[in-house]
């Protein structure tokens, strides 16, 4: 970017140099030195484009933050800037979100008018007068205000959520699911979509009632019976027409809504004008329309609850019937995907609509109560112009009255200046509300289906055309609405919808309260006029209203919500929406860890927190399964992975994601920790220090046995041995697991593949499991002696007798096959072929039910009790329930064997650890047999070197110096003797647990230590070596 001026030379004269001062900094130039070095003082900057200036940097852009538009290359990565790596631009947009590019609404037409039409629905024209008749003017106003309180609190909460980021299609479902998570979102999405489908029927039935009454009044026409059957016929036909309108597209539906709005405003004005004009005929007077009258106001001010349809009415039963009138507040939010700017349109349009309609409802309730009698006969002979209200009321004491606020649903038509125009308004209100519900229900259901929270529902989520119209969801809504229309009873349908809407409103309020209570950093709504305590009050009012309106229906609704909630929770859909429940989990976990860190440790609260060195967990599944037996629903487990080579960020991320996905698919609740560019012992030490937080960190290190140590380099053995010493130096318990077939299945089982993650290249075969054809090494089984376990310890004396064969299994082949098959996960080889049954069983051995047998615990030395605690935890697992503990302990020859046995039993009883038997070993100090010594010599023959042997410097093979072997002779004899006792007693155990031998640091080499471990564990059942940190983990006290 900088070019040197060719007219100037770096070798200019000294006299041409000057001192320059800039601000408070003075730069004194030495001419002689400047002539000798490159400099920029005479350079000039050439004009370049901004793109050249940016180089690989990118400017802030909305595209860089859109989750569906973000691709590699849209924003420079750290690897590109720091390491110079170059990524190709992605061309595959197959998974990009399908965005509807059709007609979009503003806040007036999309929200305000839509909410007005939906709120001014069937209840305004057909039930508001009845509400006034039952509840009286005062309580009718209270009912309206209570409904308004619920809706205004909900609107404020909804406004806060809708202005906290971009809102997509799905309305209420989208807001709740993205705030509270998929569990509550999915539950309420189903309920709310169903409620809107029933809302279609509610408003359609209201339209049918009005049309049926008009046909009777003006044309004296009945289709069948003038009752329910007429409503069913008219309703079915109307539903087909409405379905055709919404199926054509949102533009036609919007035009129809504007037409309905105009008719509705004229009809409402017609009602107000008619109330001022008063009755214009004796017929209107006889039907209860008196005009404004103080006596009527006084009489109708108090409630007069009566029995309707066999039900004694009360404040809350009337509220339940009226409340659907207020449910239209979500009409705009439900089509959020069709709004130009949902975050602006939803708050503005919804709140203004609530204020407008609430005022109108109160006004119309007062007008109805101030102008119309509760009861009227409809016979003009009973009413005169000069009569009083008291006289009019007495006429219904001795005969049945079919008119008035209590008896007729056509009071608004009666009061209106021009009756037919009121019918037109009623038709407009009911049909517009039905249309709004017909649009909302499929849109909500489409969003729910596309999120794939529930199985088998994605069929209904398919969109058609430029607006992605959910035609299949329309068909489903049509079917539900038709079923409800066949009920044909408005008062029956309304309470069902009320509970569903109240549940939705309650969860909207709960969402805002929950997210504002925990205040995640991403919670930044631009709408400020909300309060979390008002949201909590809105939730409480919604919940209370549900049960006060109809507690059986509320119980059913609540049961449905929680049923769907637990279905989603059980399925664990693979979605991450950054919900407030995640923030709650994080803050609760943080608070718990901080609180736990301040509590002193106690023996009774000790739990094994295990760092298990698995490498890639999917390549050592049996080691993972074994560690999880101790940690499942109990304590912390971390799978550790150490790599000597440095990994890029991309490689680390892919390896971590692959491991975590495998653990999740394997139903193992474990963390995964990766360290690269570090040696194995240093990595183990770093993990033990760095993993975890507070007291939630590993206290046990679990290693897989290095079964291929005999062919490993001396340095590899030393690293393994150093890792053990590192953990012990840190006072971390060490456990080592060995199974005869090995634990590492790298190259044997297929690598775990995850969608959207790059597969790593096949790795060479595992170092401790090079083959799986033979379950035991042929060269070892030829020399390893095995013994018949029928001989007792006492009868053996100092020599070992027995046949070199394994005992026959005690369970039948059929029982073994059944036990092995249960709970087994199918593994395949790298070519995709299923592995043989024998290999499958070996891999899943710790996931299956164990045969009836024993866990032999050789509690040789007191390490704090961990050697006893771990096998006890195993027996508490269902798969190991048939394995009983059998404890072996040491005693001197001259010590009373029975006394030692009783003492050990008493100790275990105090620890509350049940055991099946206690075996006392009194001849541990006897010398090993010649046969065992020969076996050990064969084991070490290739490794033992004279101290001055030049090959000692060769690190490619294990080396044991003669001086070391002789110096450790007595310990080696102890391990040989232990081997004899193990083969004699524990060859048929399900698991052998023994105290891990340790040696003083710097005294024993890695190869000799591995010879000791080989001596103990070779040709044995699964073997666990345990060494606690010599701090008590068992206690007598309760």
Alpha carbon separation from 834 to 216, 741, 770, 821, 840 (Å, rounded): 76, 18, 18, 14, 9
173, 444 in Cβ contact below 8 A? Answer: yes
Q: Give the pLDDT confidence score for residue 807 in this predicted structure.
A: 40
Q: Give the pLDDT confidence score for residue 25 in this predicted structure.
A: 41
151 three-state secondary structure: helix
CB atoms within 10 A of CB 893: 10
327 three-state secondary structure: helix
Alpha carbon separation from 716 to 448, 600, 673, 710 (Å, rounded): 55, 39, 22, 11
For the cut 70, the answer to whether the pLDDT of residue 601 exceeds it is yes
280, 380 in Cβ contact below 8 A? Answer: no
Confidence of residue 805 (pLDDT cuts 50, 70, 90): very low
Confidence of residue 947 (pLDDT cuts 50, 70, 90): confident
Bridge partners, residue 661, by sequence: none
d(CA 78, CA 93): 23
Q: What is the DSSP letter of 5?
A: -
Bridge partners, residue 610, by sequence: 637, 700
Mean pLDDT, rounded, for 534-538: 92
Phi, psi dihedral angles at 917 (to 5 degrees): -160, 150
For 221-283, list the strands marked E by DSSP. Answer: none
Q: Angle CA(893)–CA(898)–CA(901) in degrees, nearest 5?
A: 95
Q: Which residue carries 């609760």 as its tokens?
A: 588
Q: Which residue carries 């549940």 as its tokens?
A: 503
d(CA 427, CA 277): 24
For the cut 60, the answer to whether the pLDDT of residue 473 exceeds it is yes
Complete DSSP assignment for 522-563: T---S-----HHHHHHHHHHHHHHHHHH-HHHHHHHHHHHHH
Q: First vs last Cα of the chain: how many Å apart?
A: 77
Q: Give the pLDDT confidence score for residue 92 in this predicted structure.
A: 43
For the cut 60, the answer to whether the pLDDT of residue 665 exceeds it is yes
- pLDDT (tens digit per residue) in 340-380: 788 788 888 989 999 999 999 999 999 999 998 888 887 77
Burial class (CB in 10 A: 0-12, 13-18, 19+), 350: buried
For the cut 90, the answer to whether the pLDDT of residue 94 exceeds it is no
167, 441 in Cβ contact below 8 A? Answer: no
Mean pLDDT, rounded, for 867-886: 92
Q: Give the pLDDT confidence score for residue 62 in this predicted structure.
A: 66
For the cut 80, the answer to whether the pLDDT of residue 42 exceeds it is no
d(CA 884, CA 337): 63
948 three-state secondary structure: coil
Q: Are strands 43-45 and 2-4 parallel, antiparallel or unpaired?
A: antiparallel
d(CA 246, CA 242): 6
Min mean pLDDT across 217-231, 618-632, 1010-1024 is at 217-231
d(CA 313, CA 325): 18
d(CA 188, CA 307): 34
Closest CA to 497 of 136, 121, 181: 121
Q: Give the pLDDT confidence score for residue 830 in this predicted structure.
A: 79
- pLDDT (tens digit per residue) in 499-509: 888 888 888 88
Alpha carbon separation from 669 to 577, 663, 665 (Å, rounded): 21, 7, 10
Closest CA to 1027 of 715, 766, 732, 592: 732
996, 735 in Cβ contact below 8 A? Answer: yes
Q: Give the pLDDT confidence score for residue 772 in this predicted structure.
A: 35
For the cut 70, the answer to whether the pLDDT of residue 46 exceeds it is no
d(CA 467, CA 901): 82
HEC secondary structure over 216-252: HHHHCCCCCCCCHHHHHHHHHHHHHHHHHHHHHCHHH
Q: At a CB cut-off of 8 Å and minimum separation 6, what does 198 contact?
A: 480, 481, 484, 493, 496, 497, 500
179, 511 in Cβ contact below 8 A? Answer: yes
To the nearest whole percent, how much of the chain has pLDDT over 70? 82
- pLDDT (tens digit per residue) in 231-271: 888 889 988 988 888 777 666 777 777 888 888 889 889 88
Whole-number mean pLDDT of the chain? Answer: 79
Closest CA to 252 of 467, 473, 478: 467
Q: Give the pLDDT confidence score for residue 85 in this predicted structure.
A: 67
Give the dihedral of Cα atoms 277, 278, 279, 284; nearest 10 deg: 110
Q: At a CB cut-off of 8 Å and minimum separation 6, what does 795 contact?
A: none
CB atoms within 10 A of CB 835: 19
Confidence of residue 539 (pLDDT cuts 50, 70, 90): very high
For the cut 70, the answer to whether the pLDDT of residue 668 exceeds it is yes
Note the pTM of the prediction, 2 decimals.
Answer: 0.68
Q: Give the pLDDT confidence score for residue 775 in this predicted structure.
A: 36
Q: Give the pLDDT confidence score for residue 1 in this predicted structure.
A: 39
| Helix, strand, coil percentages in the chain from 3-state DSSP, rounded to 5 | 55, 10, 40
Confidence of residue 791 (pLDDT cuts 50, 70, 90): very low
Confidence of residue 413 (pLDDT cuts 50, 70, 90): confident
Alpha carbon separation from 425 to 326, 655, 900 (Å, rounded): 18, 66, 98
CB atoms within 10 A of CB 28: 7
d(CA 847, CA 628): 10
Buried/exposed 612-651: b ≥16 CB within 10 Å, e otherwise: bbbbbbbbbbbbbbbbbbbbbeebbbbbbbbbeeebeeeb
For 433-551, list the strands marked E by DSSP. Answer: none
Alpha carbon separation from 285 to 107, 375, 519 (Å, rounded): 44, 12, 61
Q: Give the pLDDT confidence score for residue 573 in this predicted structure.
A: 78
Confidence of residue 2 (pLDDT cuts 50, 70, 90): very low
158, 350 in Cβ contact below 8 A? Answer: yes
For the cut 80, the answer to whether the pLDDT of residue 277 exceeds it is yes
Mean pLDDT, rounded, for 180-198: 83
Min mean pLDDT across 48-52, 739-743, 768-772 is at 768-772
Q: Give the pLDDT confidence score for residue 613 in this predicted structure.
A: 94
């Amino acid at each position: 970017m900088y070019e040197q001026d060719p007219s100037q030379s770096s070798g200019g004269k000294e006299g041409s140099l000057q001192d320059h001062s800039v601000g408070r900094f003075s730069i004194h130039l030495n001419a002689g030195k400047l002539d000798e070095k490159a400099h920029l003082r005479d350079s000039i900057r050439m004009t370049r484009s901004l793109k050249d200036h940016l180089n690989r940097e990118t400017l802030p852009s909305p595209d860089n933050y859109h989750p569906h538009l973000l691709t590699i290359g849209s924003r420079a990565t750290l690897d590109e800037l720091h390491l110079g790596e170059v990524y190709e631009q992605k061309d595959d947009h197959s998974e990009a979100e399908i965005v509807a590019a059709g007609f979009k609404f503003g806040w007036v037409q999309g929200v305000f008018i839509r909410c007005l039409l939906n709120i001014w629905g069937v209840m305004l024209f057909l039930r508001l007068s009845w509400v006034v008749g039952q509840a009286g003017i005062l309580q009718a106003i209270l009912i309206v205000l209570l409904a308004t309180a619920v809706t205004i609190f909900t609107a404020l909460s909804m406004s806060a959520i809708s202005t906290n980021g971009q809102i997509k299609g799905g309305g209420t479902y989208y807001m709740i699911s993205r705030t509270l998570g998929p569990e509550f979102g999915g539950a309420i999405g189903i309920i709310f979509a169903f409620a809107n489908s029933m809302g279609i029927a509610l408003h359609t039935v209201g339209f049918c009632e009005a049309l049926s009454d008009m046909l009777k009044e003006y044309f004296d026409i009945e289709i069948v019976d003038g009752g329910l059957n007429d409503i069913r016929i008219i309703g079915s036909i109307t539903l087909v027409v409405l379905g055709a309108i919404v199926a054509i597209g949102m533009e036609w539906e919007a035009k129809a809504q504007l037409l309905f709005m105009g008719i509705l405003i004229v009809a409402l004005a017609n009602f107000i004008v008619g109330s001022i004009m008063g009755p214009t005929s004796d017929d209107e007077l006889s039907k209860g329309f008196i005009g404004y009258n103080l006596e009527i106001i006084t009489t109708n001010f108090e409630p007069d609850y009566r029995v309707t349809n066999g039900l004694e009415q009360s404040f809350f039963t009337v509220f339940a019937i009226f409340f659907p009138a207020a449910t239209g507040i979500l009409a705009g939010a439900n089509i959020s995907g069709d709004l130009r700017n949902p975050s602006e349109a939803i708050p503005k349009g919804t709140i203004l609509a609530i204020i407008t309609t609430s005022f109108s409802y109160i006004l119309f309730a007062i007008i109805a109560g101030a102008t119309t009698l509760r009861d009227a006969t409809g016979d003009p002979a009973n009413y005169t112009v000069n009569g009083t209200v008291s006289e009019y009321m007495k006429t219904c004491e001795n005969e049945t009255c079919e008119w008035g606020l209590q008896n007729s649903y056509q009071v608004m038509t009666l009061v209106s200046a021009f009756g037919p125009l009121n019918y037109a308004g009623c038709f407009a209100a009911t049909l517009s509300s039905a249309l709004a519900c017909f649009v909302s229900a499929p849109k909500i259901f489409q969003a729910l289906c596309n999120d794939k929270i529930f199985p088998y529902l994605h069929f209904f989520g398919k969109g058609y055309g430029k607006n992605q119209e959910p035609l299949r969801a329309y068909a489903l809504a049509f079917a539900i609405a038709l079923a409800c229309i066949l009920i044909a009873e408005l008062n029956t349908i309304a309470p069902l919808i009320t509970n569903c809407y109240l549940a939705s409103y309650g969860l909207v309020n709960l969402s805002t309260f929950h997210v504002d209570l925990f205040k995640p950093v991403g919670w930044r709504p631009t709408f400020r006029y909300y309060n979390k305590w008002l949201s909590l009050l809105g939730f409480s009012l919604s919940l209370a209203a549900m049960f006060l309106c109809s507690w059986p229906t509320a119980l059913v609704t609540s049961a449905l919500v929680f049923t769907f909630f637990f279905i989603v929770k059980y399925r664990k859909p693979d979605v991450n929406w950054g919900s407030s429940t995640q923030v709650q989990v994080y803050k609760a976990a943080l608070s718990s860890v901080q609180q736990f860190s301040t509590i002193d440790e106690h023996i009774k609260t000790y739990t094994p927190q295990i760092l298990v060195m698995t490498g890639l967990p999917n390549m050592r599944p049996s080691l993972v399964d074994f560690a999880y037996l101790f940690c499942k629903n109990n304590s912390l487990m971390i799978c550790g992975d150490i790599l000597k080579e440095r990994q890029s960020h991309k490689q680390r991320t892919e390896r971590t994601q692959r491991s975590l996905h495998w653990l999740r698919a394997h139903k193992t609740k474990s963390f995964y920790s990766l360290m690269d560019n570090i040696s194995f012992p240093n990595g183990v030490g770093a993990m033990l220090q760095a993993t975890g937080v507070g007291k939630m960190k590993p206290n046990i290190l679990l290693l897989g046995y290095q079964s291929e140590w005999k062919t490993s380099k001396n340095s590899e053995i030393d690293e393994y041995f150093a890792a053990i010493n590192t953990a012990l130096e840190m006072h971390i318990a060490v456990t080592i697991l060995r199974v005869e077939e090995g634990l590492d299945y790298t190259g044997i089982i297929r690598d775990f593949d995850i969608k959207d993650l790059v597969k790593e290249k096949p790795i060479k075969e595992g170092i401790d499991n090079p083959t799986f054809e033979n379950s035991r090494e042929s060269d070892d089984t030829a020399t390893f002696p095995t013994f018949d376990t029928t001989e007792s310890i006492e009868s053996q004396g100092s020599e070992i007798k027995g046949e070199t064969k394994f005992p026959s299994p005690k369970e039948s082949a059929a029982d073994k096959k059944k036990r092995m098959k249960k709970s087994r996960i199918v593994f395949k080889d790298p070519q995709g072929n299923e592995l043989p049954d024998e290999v499958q069983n070996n891999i899943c051995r710790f996931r299956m039910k164990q045969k009836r047998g024993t866990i032999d615990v050789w509690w040789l030395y007191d390490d704090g009790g961990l050697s006893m605690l771990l096998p006890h935890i195993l027996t508490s697992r269902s798969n190991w329930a048939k394995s009983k503990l059998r404890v072996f302990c040491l005693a001197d020859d001259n010590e009373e064997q029975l006394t030692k046995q009783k003492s050990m039993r008493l100790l275990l009883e105090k620890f509350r650890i049940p055991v099946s038997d206690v075996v006392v070993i009194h001849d541990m100090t006897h010398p090993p047999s010649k046969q065992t010594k020969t076996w050990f010599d064969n084991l070490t023959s290739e490794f033992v070197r004279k101290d001055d042997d030049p090959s000692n410097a060769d690190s490619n093979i294990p080396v044991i110096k003669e001086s070391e072997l002789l110096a450790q002779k007595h310990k080696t004899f102890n391990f040989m003797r232990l081997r004899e006792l193990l083969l004699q007693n524990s060859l048929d155990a399900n698991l052998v647990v023994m105290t891990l031998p340790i040696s003083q640091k710097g005294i024993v080499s890695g190869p000799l230590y591995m010879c000791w471990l080989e001596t103990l564990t070779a040709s044995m059942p699964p073997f666990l070596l345990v060494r606690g940190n010599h701090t008590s983990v068992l206690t007598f006290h309760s």
